[in-house]
Structure 1
Amino acid sequence: MAKQTDTKTARQKYIEISYKNAGKYKYNAGDSVAVIFSGGPASGANSVISSLALNFINAGIPLYGILKGFENIENFGTDELKTLEEGEHYIVFTREVAGIRGNAGVVLKTSRANPGKDIKKVEDIEDPKKNSKLNNIINAFESLNVKVAITIGGDDTLKLANFLHLMGFPTIHVPKTIDNDYFGIPWTFGYWSAVETAKDALINFREDARSTDSYFIIELMGRKTGWITYAAGVSAQATMMLAVEDFLDQKYIDINELAKKIVDQIIAREKEKRNYGVICVAEGLVDKLPDDKVAKEKDKHGNIYYGLTEVCKLIADAAKKEYFKRTGKNKKIIPRQIGYETRCVRSSAFDTTLGSMLGYGAYKLFEENKFGNMVSVEDNFDIKPIPFSELIDPETLLTKIRTVNPNKDFYKLKESLSYHVGQKNFENGNDEY
């Protein structure tokens, strides 16, 4: 009961500060708008930027593109950065931006700067010692006569957008993550391009495994969820797909027990004359490992660099030992990571269209004065605003994460297409499985 009271109090404080600062900064005709891309790259980023920019240009509204996320402007007004220089700190969009819609990469470049790292609770928003870098950002905007910010980024960027909103600065957010774990939108741009790229690599690994009678343990991106692992695994006919959603009832994963499960599969398939396979694991399994197994390096937002732990290698090494223990033979079980190569590929038609719609949606929300909202889509790409207050935990100020629900059909699909020991597994002479 006490926790519920605390949560209610936190929400009340959140609402109070939001109302108190509302209107502190106002957009008027003739003012400018800025767009910022922050966090990891994602295919379709330039689609968002191009669509957004063209809509503002068509409306005759000056639009600045801030370069390298918040990395520079968080220091505006300090000895590090007294003035903003065009070409170094920002660009001014022209109609030439139409030509980047399908390009790979991020035209604005990006960074993982975290100007809100000292904000831990809603009261900190008004603490001048803790909000100083956020004030620097607002001052940087005002030096360009920018009165509205449009942020493009993942959960950490949404958190920063919410801070600016609570400080009274008109802000609109466009969701971005290849992990597809965003609460409030069914698919995020870059996800399906990443899945397609991972699938192509997995198919190559599968054919290598078939040719050499070996197994690959492939680690895929996905810090908190298995969206990429499951979709890429299904597309490439992986024999097993594992992510945090498969271990929700466990505080820690026992790597040796997992190795036994993998070797059960290997031996069962060998009896069927299938001496090969590809097993997909999400990098987020690191969160289920004991601390002594986890690499300690973190980014500026406090996120562990999951890839440094090499969970695929931990699993592969344990599986090789278990296989030798049972059979007295060595088995090629090879760990590999598919990571950054999925982030900046040329976007699929779906991601280009979705990104373009979200860019248009950011302009639409601006036109309708719907600040403090995230751009989302529903039905056939109809724009839907989602208030920040529905996406943020008012007590922790962290964003909500959307996992793969084990009770829903997407999870059940990956289970139905995985290889299960002791069951009929689409045999009937199907060597493609």
Structure 2
Amino acid sequence: MKISVLTGGGDAPGLNAYLKAITFKAIDSGYEVYGFLDGWKGVLENKYIKLDKDLVYREYFHGGTLLGSSRTNPAKNEETINKAINNFKATGFDVLIAIGGEDTMGASSKMYKAGIPVIGLPKTIDYDLYGTDFTVGFHTAVDIVRDSIEKLITTAKSHHRVLVVEVMGRHAGWIALYGGLAGGANYIIIPEFPLDLNDLLRVIRDRYNRGDTYAIVVVAEGVELGNVNKEVVDEYGHVKLGGVGEQLAKIIEKETGITTRSINLGHLQRGGPANSIDRIYPLKLGYHAIELVKNKEFGKMLALKGNEIIKIDLSEVEGKIKTVDSNLYQFAKSFFY
């Protein structure tokens, strides 16, 4: 049997752990493993390499993905769908394991319906993939945000400034919420709930009035403040975000008179080696993906519910987003101080 795998969408720490698990288990099961280069783009351009234990072991310790990635959408139109199907059939591969987030899983669901035997594995630092309690990259991204906040606190205190830290999160504020809470941020703003500017300014003023002459405000990139450029989109129709932190910093400084600066952590959140969680769980999920291959259980995505590995239909994931609910955000607001 010939197994193929791809990594789609934005890269994330821990992707190479998936590739290690898939390759080791597949080879031990007597299968061959191939990797499409740069996500679905590799399928459309018929570009792939053979994977072996030596290669995936060497890359296991590094961040990113040895296969490369892209935001190419194979289900963009009928032409790309047919091209992907024809190219895949021509390879002689028996299955495609697609590793990715909401867009990659949505495209995988469509391609499965179109005739490609697909199995999905969860990956997104945004943690907004429906149906799973784990997505590779999220926990490492939270660690990076926490570490950045702890470093920024020292300079904010030294210069008596407000620092606005912009983090990733298009539709969901999981990174902002967890990273902000872990790092001791004084205020967190996420896309799920409208900004209460008066409350934000109150918290900042209260801090300065009692002698705590600095503040760290964390904001997810998807928060809308108005006047954001919404013209540039990717192949999935998503606006290319960025800049909300800078806008918010200007508003805070204007309203309070306090020197305010913004920092966009950007791709730092995707970079570097994975932490332990983002290594262990993809090893487990990648290993179990080969069991689905053996049983020809296609059209499924493996997920975690608690510590239990489950399988759900790709169609259940398609078009859905996991967001922060009001109870969790109210809990977080208890620590805005």
Output the TM-score relative to the length of structure 1: 0.75
Tell me if 1:138 matches 2:96: no
Instruction: Map 1:47-58; keep pairs closer than 5 Å.
Output: 47-58=17-28
- In 2, distance between residues paired with 1:100 and 1:114? 26
Distance 2:6 2:235 in 1: 17
Equivalent in the alignment of 1:321? 254
Structure 1 range deviating more: 94-103 or 352-361: 94-103
| C-alpha contact (below 8 Å) 1:376/1:383 kept by paired residues | yes
CA distance in 1, matches of 2:7, 2:268: 19
- The structural deviation recorded for 1:220 is 0.7
Of 57, 63, 71, the match for 1:104: 63
Q: CA deviation at 1:115?
A: 2.2
User: Which residue type is aligned with residue 294 of structure 1?
Assistant: N
Aligned to 1:283: 221
Match of 1:306 among 224, 241, 245: 241
Other-structure match for 1:391: 317
Q: Give how far 1:245 is off.
A: 2.4
Please give the alpha-carbon distance, in whole angstroms, between the structure 1 residues aligned to 2:239 and 2:98.
23
Residue identity matched to 1:277: A
2:128 is matched with which residue? Answer: 181
Q: Does 1:338 align with 2:265?
A: yes
1:268 to 201, 206, 211: 206
CA distance in 2, matches of 1:377, 1:313: 36
- 1:88-167 superposed matches below 5 A: 89-96=47-54, 97-118=56-77, 130=78, 132-167=79-114
Aligned residue for 1:418? 336
Structure 1 gaps, min length 5: 1-30, 76-83, 119-129, 248-252, 325-330, 393-398, 420-433
**Contact 1:165–1:372, Cα closer than 8 Å, also in 2:** yes
In the other structure, the counterpart of 2:229 is 294
Q: Does the CA-based 8 Å contact 2:141-2:175 persist in structure 1?
A: yes
**Counterpart contact for 2:14–2:274, Cα < 8 Å:** yes
8 Å Cα contact 2:190-2:222 kept in structure 1: yes
RMSD in angstroms over aligned alpha carbons? Answer: 1.6
- Radius of gyration: which is bigger? 1
Note the alpha carbon deviations across 1:290-315, whole angstroms, 9 max, x for none: 4x4334211121111111xx111111
CA distance in 1 between partners of 2:168 and 2:297 (Å): 33
Counterpart position of 1:74? 44
Letter in 1 for 2:15: A
Instruction: Give 1:189-204 correspondences, 5 Å limit.
Output: 189-204=136-151
Kept after mapping to 2: 8 A contact 1:32/1:144 = no
Q: Work out the CA distance in 2 between the residues paired with 1:295 and 1:234.
A: 29
CA distance in 1 between counterparts of 2:156 and 2:287 reads 45
1:213 equivalenced with 2:160 (yes/no): yes
Q: Report SS of the residue matched to 2:147.
A: helix
1:215-271 CA-partner distances (Å, limit 9, x unpaired): 101111011111100111111111001102232xxxxx6xxx62x433322221112
- Alpha-carbon distance change, 341 to 418 in structure 1, aligned in 2, over 3 angstroms: same
Aligned length: 336
CA distance in 1, matches of 2:233, 2:114: 28
Q: Distance in 2 between matches of 1:316 and 1:343?
A: 24
* CA–CA separation in structure 2 for the residues paired with 1:109 and 1:277: 38
Aligned residue for 1:43? 13
TM-score by length of 2: 0.95
What is the correspondence of 1:239-254 to structure 2 with a 5 Å cutoff?
Answer: 239-247=186-194
* Rounded Cα–Cα distance in structure 1 between residues aligned with 2:133 and 2:330: 18
Is contact 1:51-1:98 (8 Å) kept?
no
Deviates more, 1:188-197 or 1:98-107: 98-107
- In structure 2, the residue matched to 1:28 is none
Instruction: Return 5+ residue gaps in structure 2 as ranges.
Output: none
CA distance in 2, matches of 1:378, 1:262: 35
CA distance in 2, matches of 1:117, 1:141: 17
